[in-house]
Structures are given as C-alpha cells and as structure tokens.
Structure 1
Amino acid sequence: MTILIKNGHVLDPGTGLDDICDVLIDGDRITEVEKNIETESDRVIDADGCWVMPGFIDLHVHFRDPGLEYKETLATGGRAAVRGGVTTVCAMPNTKPVIDNGVKVREVMERAKRESLTNVIQLGAVTRGQKGEELADINGMAENGCRAISEDGKSVMNASLYRKGMQAAKKEGVAVFAHCEDITMVEGGVMNADEKARELGLPGITNAVEDVIVARDILLAKETGVQLHLCHCSTADSAKMLALAKKEGLPVTGEVCPHHFILSTDDICEDDGNFKMNPPLRSRADVEALREALKNDVVDVIATDHAPHAEAEKNRSMKLAAFGIVGLETSAALTYTELVEKGVLTPMQMAEKMSYNPARILGLSDKGSVSAGKIADVVIFDPRKEYVIDKNTFLSKGKNTPFHGRKVKGEVRCTIVGGRIVYEGGKTID
C-alpha cells in the first residue's frame, strides 16, 4: 500500500528537516520526503496545519501481560499506545511470571506481533524472578530481541550482583534501565516527604531514596562501561547528577514523565490514590529543575511509566492504593501544552525526546526519523486542537490519572505503524 501525506509540517530530528513537505510511504518504508510530491497513491492524507513526526517511542510502559491481564493486555495497551501516537513501546518485565529468560521474551514478542497495534520490545529482568539473588538469563534474553534489562519496580540492592548484571549487559550489547529506589529507606512512605504529607497525615518518601541509587548506578556504569538509562527521574539532584555524568562523557541517559514535569505536591488537595505514583510527585522546585533539564537537553527522553490498575486498586486512600498512573494517551498533549506551548521545548525537541533519542538509546537505526529509507512509523499531530482529558474515553483498561478534566492542546490525528494506518479520526484500525 502507498500513502501520501500532503502539506504537513515535517519535524525530523534525524535530518534536521523543519519545513512543510510531503511524505510518501510505500509498503513499510518511507520512500520520499519532498515538497509537492505528485504521484499516484492508494491513500492521500491532507496534513495541512499538522506536524508530521516520527512515531513516538515510549521506553517505559507496563502492559501487565502475562499474568495481570485484568489491568492491561498487549491488545488494550497497543490500542492506547497508537491513540497517543506511540508506535514502539518497551514493556517492563515485572509481570507474572517475571520475564527473566529468553523463552519468555520470545513468547511475549511473538504474541505482540499478532495482538498489539504498536511494536512491543519486551525488556528482561536483571535477576531471576526479580528477587535480587541471582542473575537472570541475560544472554538468552538478548538473543531473543531484548534490548535492555531492568529490575523496574525496584532496584537491585546487592551492588555486587548488580555490577555483575551490568557487566553481562555490556557483554551482550544491551542497556540497563534503572528504577532508582533504595527500598530500605522507603519506610512505608506513599508520597513525597513534605508539609503536604504531614497535612494529610501520610508517611513520606524523601528525595534521598532516589538520589542515593542514582549516584550508585552512575558510578557502577562508569566502572562497567554499560549504557545506563535512568528511569522516571523526579528530583533536582537526579538531574544534577545526570548532568555531571554527561559532562564526564559517561554512557548515561535519563527520562522524565509528564506527571513529574507538571505536577507537584501542591496539586494534591486530598488523600486521593490517583496521585500515588513511584517515584512520588515532588516539590515545585524539583518540577522546575526537571523542566530546565529537559530544556537544556540534560534529560534525553520523555516517557510515561504507563502503569494501569483496576479502579478498586486506585480509588482509595494513598495508604492502600497501588502505585501508578496511566500515560500513553495523554503524554503528547501534556508535553505540547506544558512544554512546547510555554516555550520550555521547541517542537523539534519534542520530537527528539519522544522519538529520536529513544530510538538511539535502543539502537533502532531505522526508526526515530521521517526520512527516505526509514521504517514508516509516523504520527500526524494537530497542535491546534483543544479539549479536556476524559479518562472515560481511554482505550487502556486503566483509568487511573490525576489529569482527568484537565484542559490541553494538541491531538494525535493519525498513527502509522510499519506503513499501516492503525489509528485515525479517533478510532483504532485493527
């Protein structure tokens, strides 16, 4: 099938193209990006007034499949992804059973090709069963398409074992995605340790819980030479340490989620489980530091940490609610509204942090760019569209978001995965 996208404003970090151009897709590849392409095609899409960007790549999602399908599945997560313009996701391994060997990686990725509208890269655990006692089958997972290992949901607290995991990852050519949390310091906390926690009578989680592991992991990456990616950075000091690592030329990157670059504990008005996430919402000073780090390209990636839960698991006190927030269907609009519209990021930086940089981190040389020869993963984004986020319209099984009712600007109009239109006009196309 051939698709001709006309009159769109192409934003391509791969080539630096920032201009009104047409894009021709033939089969699963982009074949031409030029002005005024005149050719016969099976489908013509008029993208006048819209941005044409490489499909977003979310390095951090939880599809809960296998074992927790009541929260999300490969199918429902895939539909949520393409609605948000996300054409590739990295699925975290803390499923049931934990993804800790090559067979499990292969099974999920083969099913995803049949069941999911988005591309799914299954990540593997660092340790068997995520128990922190012995290394997982890192070699077997790498051989079956796993591009990174992660103990997401926790840190490997045994530094010696974690170093061995990093050494194995370095040998296999895969990255380490780090959830930085010293579990011994959490002490039952459910939100940021500040005046708001005291006001609500809730136990707090200090910034140091994250920061001490960020420091440790950067030092271990320096020793082992492994590519380290810091997940969901939430503190000002995390951003400072990431900047220092980059200054030293270390192979370290970092991500921030929309909830951490928008919300602070100032936004929590009551004991509401939808505001409970890990790491927690921090202070306004932390939010501003993260926004500055994004602006200055210290932080490389915007990811969601999409973590769906059943309604009964979230609509309760923070003391009892599960940690997590959904984000696949809101991240593009929130990024545009809060960062691009407000001059924190340029439109090109948005494309870099949501597509190009994630592709480079994963070693996906044929993605992250709208240029001839690349895989035709493309999103058409309308920056003019204004609306109110309504969780009841989400395609994800999870509705757990503190952004319900928030007015935003910017909507995904069309998502193309591998040359196939999978989302258009508010509907997925299976």
Structure 2
Amino acid sequence: MSDKILLVNGRRVQNDRLTRCELLIDDGKIAAIGEQVTGGEGVHRVDLHGNLVTPGLVDVHVHLREPGFTNKETIATGSAAAVHGGFTTIAAMANLNPTCDTPARFADQVERNKRAGQVKIIQYSPVTVGRKGKQAVDVEQQYQAGARLFSDDGAGIQDAGVVYDAMKQLAKRNLPLCDHAQDDQLSMGGVINAGPVAAKFSLPGMPAISETAQIARNLVIAQATGAHYHVCHVSTKESIDLIRHAKQMGVNVTCEVTPHHLLLADTDIAKDDAEFKMNPPLRRRIDQEACLVGLLDGTIDCIATDHAPHTDKEKQQGFLKSPNGIVGSETAFALLYTRFVKAKIFTLQQLVDWLSVKPQQIFNLPNVGLLRVGDPADIAVFDLAQPTKIKVDQFFSKGHNSPFVGDVVYGSTSRTYVDGRLVYSKEN
C-alpha cells in the first residue's frame, strides 16, 4: 500500500461550522488539508462518507495499571481502548507497582509504554516517593529522565510541607502538580457523596469539603510558589468557585472535569451498584450543573476521562467493598456529543477543543491536539449519524466497569490514525 493516504469526503468543524474536509497523509505527517486536496499518483484514497474529522483526541488522565495490576488493564489493552475512543495521546498516571519515582524507573516505564502502546503515552511521575505523601521526589532528576507531568493521583497529599517543597521544585521548571484533591481527615471514610442518597443506602458519605479544603490549601501554596497547580477531576460547586476566584487573582491554576461528573449526579444512583462508585464521588445535581457552567465560562479548562479499569469481580461487591473508578476512554466522545452537542447545550467546536486543543495548551504538549500541515498525522474520525448501543463485548479495555452500558449514543469512532498509521477501524 502507498505511504500516501488521501482521506476524502470528510467534514471538520471550523468556527462552529462543519465544512468539507480532505486530508493528505504522507510519511506519517499531514501533507495537505482543505476542502479539496489532490493526492497525486499512487495515493491510497479512503472515503470517509461524510464523517467528522478531528485532531486525535488528547486524554491527560488515564490509568494503564502496568506494572502491578495487569489483571485490570495493560498498556496494550488500555491503548487499544484509547484508539477505539479516538484518543491518540494519553497521559498515564503513576499509581503503579512499583511506581516510577526514580529516574531509572521512570525511563523503564517510558520504554515499556513505547513497546506496548498503540498511542503516544505521556508518563506521569509521582509527586512523592512511593506515592506515600511523605517526601517529594527529586523533580530535577525526574525532569532529566523525561518527566513533564507530576501527580500522586489516587491519593491526596496530606502534608502541606511536602506540597510546598514539591511546588517550589516544580516552579523552577514550570511543571504542573496535578492534584487528586482530597483531605483524608475530612473524607470520613466515605464511599459515596454525603447526603440523602448515602443515607438512603446506609452508606458512609464523603463530604464535598474533603475536596474543597484541599484545593483551598493548595491554591494558597501555588500562589506563594508561582507553581502551576492543576486540579484533577474537579467535582463540587464550591471547588469550581474557588478556582474561578483564584484565576481572577492571577494564580497559575488549571483544572479538568470528567465526562461522568458532567453526565451524572448521585441522585442517578438507583441501587447499591458500584458501577457508579468513583473518587471523587458523583455529587449533587447542583454540583453537576456547576461543572457544566465552569466548562462554559472557562473556569474548567478541559475534559479528561480518568479511565480507571477494574475487574468485573471487583466491581460486583457493592459500594462498601468495590474499588473506585469507571472506564471512560471508549465512550467519552460519543456520550458527550449525544448528551450535550445534539441537545445544543454546547457546540461541537467546544467539545473537540476541550478534548484536544485545551489539553495541549494547558500542558504545552508538542505536536498534538491540532490538525496542521507538517504535524504528525494523529487523526480521529467519528460517525455522527449512526446510533450505536454501548455494549461491554465491544470494549477493547479489560475493564467493563461503566454505568453507561446500554446507552444509545451517536458519535462512535470510525477510524483512528497515529502518525499516519491506521490503528483502529470500525470496518475491521
């Protein structure tokens, strides 16, 4: 087959309008893009049948589970799930065993990701040694090994002095501390949002203040150090209000929201079903609405899935015993397109930006999230016209843990290219 691929009869969104799109891939890069492109001799033509063409999506928050937890997911299965959802760049969290908290371990993890991954994988370094929250890693050494993103995600850093030390180090290189904001003394051992739903099921509730108090503390430390503070999976109205105010004050803060916190509230939980168990938990309807408002007014910078696969057996134990998290890579775009774009709550342009351009901008990621001549041909193609039902037997992830199984959606992925190589096709 020719190295040149001409994608014809596609559409892309520009300035909130869908326009005809043809795109030439040559030697793994975008060679031309426009309403009409000539491929020349020997080009392989691919008819996109009017489907949407976007930059390969960028997910700055996934869990690949390898090494240490390969019964839940592997780099191979997690990256297969990513391309099935149209993601071509993902950032993998460091809650692994062992975690990559030294330069040697970090370099090993990067190599492991390259060998097994179908997508571009940006590896997080932990913020603290062993992710234990007691001592900050040597940021400069981790940086020299290639680390650009830092997070202890899965656990909040309880010691303010450790956060202060880490942020001072990170500020020197303008690197982000990406925070799972949770004060364990205020979380009360909760497994579900504190409130009437927790009481209904006689489950211990996690108060919203467990997130908000940690964010408030870390915003003050970020202001004092000048560090870039990024809040992972923000979930409460009060947290969003704090971040909005901090941005107005000039604090270097960004944040993300998950699809599930945009789509669901705790009142959607009809029974003790751990497919609805995640951390932070699904909050009140007013918090869900605040997440949408925060996205629309720019307080929330991007959408990230927090793809967190677990085994079927683990998630069948109810709220008290099951682990936190749901899978999200394969369903994010379609769910958000169906629920919000088709309902005209936000635009297709906004959705594409939140899932590609904005992650690239806030973390200054090179050569991802954009459709530009000369860039790597990382491209996603979505079918906006044909409805599909979300089924577990269609998941490429090892994890099937999703409350959205059975939903009918529009916007399923039809093709995904990484560096011009077709890594997923619905037709295959």
Which category describes the TM-score, using the shorter chain as reference length?
A: over 0.9
Whole-Å separation in 1 of the counterparts to 2:401 and 2:188:
25
Secondary structure at the residue paired with 1:140?
A: helix
- Equivalent residue of 1:10, what SS? strand
Please give the residue correspondences for 1:160-171 in structure 2 after superposition, counting only pairs within 5 Å. 160-171=161-172
Q: Show structure 1 runs of 5+ residues with no match.
A: none
Deviations 1:359-383 (A, max 9, x none): 1122223211111122211101111
CA shift, 1:17, in A, is 8.5
Preserved contact between residue 19 and residue 35 of structure 2 (Cα < 8 Å): no
| Residue identity matched to 2:21 | C
Q: For 2:412 and 2:154, how far apart are their aligned partners in 1?
A: 30
Q: Distance in 2 between matches of 1:378 and 1:12?
A: 16
1:17-416 pair list within 5 angstroms:
19-40=19-40, 42-416=43-417
Instruction: Give, in angstroms, the shift of residue 138 of structure 1.
Output: 1.9
The residue number in structure 2 matching 1:8 is 10
The separation in 2 between residues aligned to 1:42 and 1:145, in whole angstroms, is 37
CA distance in 2, matches of 1:64, 1:313: 15
Runs of 4+ in 1 over 6 A off after TM superposition: none
CA distance in 2 between counterparts of 1:158 and 1:91 reads 24
* Structure 1 residue 177: Cα displacement: 0.7
Unaligned runs of 5+ in 2: none
> 2:89–2:368: 8 Å Cα contact kept in structure 1?
no
- 3-state SS of 1:318 partner: helix
Kept after mapping to 1: 8 A contact 2:58/2:368: no
Residue range with higher mean Cα deviation, 123-132 or 98-107? 98-107
Helix, strand or coil at the partner of 2:400: coil
Q: Secondary structure of 2:178's match?
A: strand
Deviation of residue 424 (structure 1)? 0.8
Superposed CA deviations along residues 61-100 of structure 1, whole A, max 9, x for unmatched, are 0000111111111101010000000101111001101221
Following superposition, the deviation at residue 310 of structure 1 comes to 1.2
Tell me if structure 2 keeps the 8 A contact 1:125–1:151: yes
Structure 2 Cα separation of the partners of residues 185 and 198 of structure 1: 18
Deviation at 1:12, TM superposition (A): 6.0
Distance 2:216 2:28 in 1: 42
Q: CA deviation at 1:48?
A: 3.5
Q: Distance in 1 between matches of 2:387 and 2:240?
A: 32
TM score, norm. by length of structure 2: 0.96
Whether contact under 8 Å (1:12, 1:54) holds in the other structure is no
> Residue type matched to 1:202 in 2?
L
Equivalent-residue separation in structure 1 for 2:122 and 2:242 (angstroms): 28
Offset, 1:111: 1.9
Q: CA deviation at 1:295?
A: 2.0
Give the Cα–Cα distance (whole angstroms) in 1 for the partners of residues 293 and 314 of structure 2.
34
Q: Secondary structure at the match of 1:319?
A: helix
Quick check: 1:272–1:318 contact (8 Å CA) kept in 2? yes
- Structure 2 contact 124–150 (Cα < 8 Å) conserved: yes
Per-residue deviation, 1:145:
2.3
Contact 2:265 2:282 in 1 (8 A): yes
* Aligned residue identity for 2:181: C
Q: What RMSD in Å do the two structures reach over aligned CA positions?
A: 1.6
Letter of the 2:11 partner, please give it.
H
Question: Given the superposition, is the C-alpha separation of residues 17 and 140 from structure 1 closer, same or farther in structure 2, using an over 3 Å criterion?
Answer: farther
Distance (whole Å) between structure 1 residues aligned to residue 100 and residue 13 of structure 2: 36
**For the residues of structure 2 that align with 1:111 and 1:324, how far apart are their CA atoms?**
24
In structure 2, what is the Cα distance between the partners aligned to 1:17 and 1:401? 32
Could you state the TM-score of these two structures normalised by the residue count of structure 1? 0.95
